[in-house]
């Protein structure tokens, strides 16, 4: 069969653009390298527990279209993300808010907290040159040392002095008693898991899993008028300009014969003596879970990316961004046959709503080109 569009990848970017194209009357084939749909937001169910296979994801957005694509395609229940930070057995609320400041310094008013941060941030008088200086300028030395430095260095595998300041410029900081990690208008989780949502988005669309685009590239390029590619940008071009760098993750799933393992859905571990960055207890995300005899906790370990591992986070430093721009210049010359969409294909970190918004923008562009 010949298709109007071949979508390479069934993550949220690919699933969203596939859904929009189908609604526009286009024939679509989605191919997925993995055996399950959804990319890094895929979920599975074991012993009645919905498991976030690649780490916990909380859908949050202030974009009306992104929210409608979520709530209109799966049943949604409210969930407020309130992670806790563990620093050598001391627990602190996240994001940094009046609860955190009181736990650290005993202060009770916003004025006291601001004065404490202002005093500590004086050690960085000029423009921050790296992540460490940026963090200290934003929140002071105490919070940086206890709650940022160790976690960040584990996450990126680099000293904070070697990381760009841009990574942490949007650090949440509140001078009120508010533990909601996100500032967005909407926040929730899909009943039945994210894979259910992806399946609903792809309903009525031809899908093939366990299929590597590059193993039959020439054949796939012939069966569609247009290709929307959501995989690694450098891989599409056979790494001809060099390889882009990523950070990966490893997940250690441990079952416990008890109702609950920890007192919060997510606990971050901010010191180097714990090699993992966080622990997520999956059933704590699901008020509908009826399993009271066992629980699954996932310990998340940052990892060096290499072939065969999952590329999770682009390393958007100056060198990698320059290489990505060179690849994007090549990709622009392939239109209107091939388009590049999603965090891997544009080498940019996306939240889930960013994926939806970018897919909608691409769809609108295809309409303007007269091919959607």
10 Å Cβ neighbour count for 145? 16
Contact (CB, 8 A) for 228 and 29? no
Residue 141 designated active-site:
no
Q: Other C-beta atoms within 10 Å of 368: how many?
A: 9
Residue 351 is among the residues annotated as catalytic for this protein: yes
Q: How many residues does the chain have?
A: 372
Q: Which of 34, 141, 174, 232 is catalytic?
A: 174
Catalytic residue among 90, 221, 349, 361: 349
Token pair, residue 10, equals 């069934």
CA distance 323 to 254: 39
The SS3 assignment for 144 reads helix
Q: With left for phi above 0 and alpha for psi between -120 and 50, is residue 19 left, alpha or beta?
A: alpha
- Catalytic (active site) residue 112: no
174 is annotated as an active-site residue: yes
- Are the CB atoms for 117 and 96 separated by under 8 Å? no
Distance of alpha carbon 6 from alpha carbon 226, whole angstroms:
6
- Whether 34 is catalytic is no
Please tell me which residue in 170, 176, 238, 290 is annotated as part of the active site.
170
343 is catalytic: no
**Nearest CA among 363, 371, 359 for reference residue 16:** 359
> DSSP labels for 288-341?
T----S-EEEEEEEEEE--TTS---EE--SHHHHHHHHHHHHHHHTTTTTEEE-
Say whether 276 is catalytic.
no
Catalytic option among 234, 281, 286, 351: 351
Options 300, 343, 347, 350, the catalytic residue: 300
Give the SS3 label for residue 98. Answer: helix
Residues in contact with 104: Cβ distance below 8 Å, sequence separation at least 6, in sequence order? 92, 142, 143, 146
- Give the start-end residues of each E strand in 33-153: 43-46, 49-52, 59-61, 76-78, 84-87, 90-93
Residue of 34, 141, 232, 278 marked active site: 278
Distance CA 228, CA 235 (A): 14
| Whether the Cβ atoms of residue 153 and residue 272 lie closer than 8 Å to each other | yes
User: What is the sign of the dihedral through the CA atoms of 11, 12, 13 and 15?
Assistant: positive
Catalytic residue selected from 141, 232, 247, 343: 247
List active site positions: 170, 174, 247, 278, 300, 349, 351
């Amino acid at each position: 069969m010949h298709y109007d569009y071949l979508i390479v990848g069934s993550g949220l970017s690919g699933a969203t653009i596939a859904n929009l194209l189908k609604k526009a009357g286009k024939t679509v084939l989605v191919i997925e390298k993995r055996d399950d749909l959804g990319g890094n937001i895929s979920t599975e169910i074991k012993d009645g527990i919905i498991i976030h296979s690649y780490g916990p994801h909380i859908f949050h957005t202030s974009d009306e279209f992104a929210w409608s694509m979520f709530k209109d395609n799966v049943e949604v229940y409210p969930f407020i993300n309130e992670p806790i930070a563990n620093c050598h057995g001391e627990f602190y609320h996240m994001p940094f808010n009046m609860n955190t400041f009181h736990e650290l310094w005993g202060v009770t008013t916003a004025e006291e907290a601001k004065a404490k941060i202002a005093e500590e941030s004086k050690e960085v008088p000029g423009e921050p040159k790296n992540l460490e200086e940026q963090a200290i300028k934003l929140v002071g030395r105490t919070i940086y040392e206890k709650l940022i430095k160790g976690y960040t260095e584990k996450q990126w595998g680099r000293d904070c002095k070697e990381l760009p300041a841009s990574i942490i410029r949007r650090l949440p900081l509140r001078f009120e008693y508010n533990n909601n990690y996100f500032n967005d208008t909407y926040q929730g989780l899909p009943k039945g898991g994210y894979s259910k949502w992806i399946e609903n988005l792809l309903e009525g669309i031809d899908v093939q899993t366990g299929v590597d685009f590059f193993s039959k590239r020439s054949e796939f390029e012939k069966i569609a008028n247009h290709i929307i590619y959501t995989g690694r940008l450098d891989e599409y071009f056979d790494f001809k300009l060099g390889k882009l760098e990523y950070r990966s993750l490893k997940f250690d799933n441990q079952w416990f014969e008890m109702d609950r393992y920890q007192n919060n859905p997510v606990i971050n571990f901010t010191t180097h003596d714990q090699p993992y960055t966080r622990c997520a207890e999956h059933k704590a995300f699901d008020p509908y879970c009826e399993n009271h005899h066992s629980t699954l906790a996932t310990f998340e370990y940052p990892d060096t990316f290499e072939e065969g591992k999952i590329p999770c986070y682009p390393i958007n430093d100056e060198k990698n961004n320059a290489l990505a721009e060179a690849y994007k210049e090549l990709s622009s010359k392939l239109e209107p046959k091939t388009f590049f969409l999603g965090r891997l294909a544009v080498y940019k970190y996306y939240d889930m709503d960013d994926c939806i918004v970018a897919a909608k923008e691409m769809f609108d562009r295809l309409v303007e080109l007269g091919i959607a």
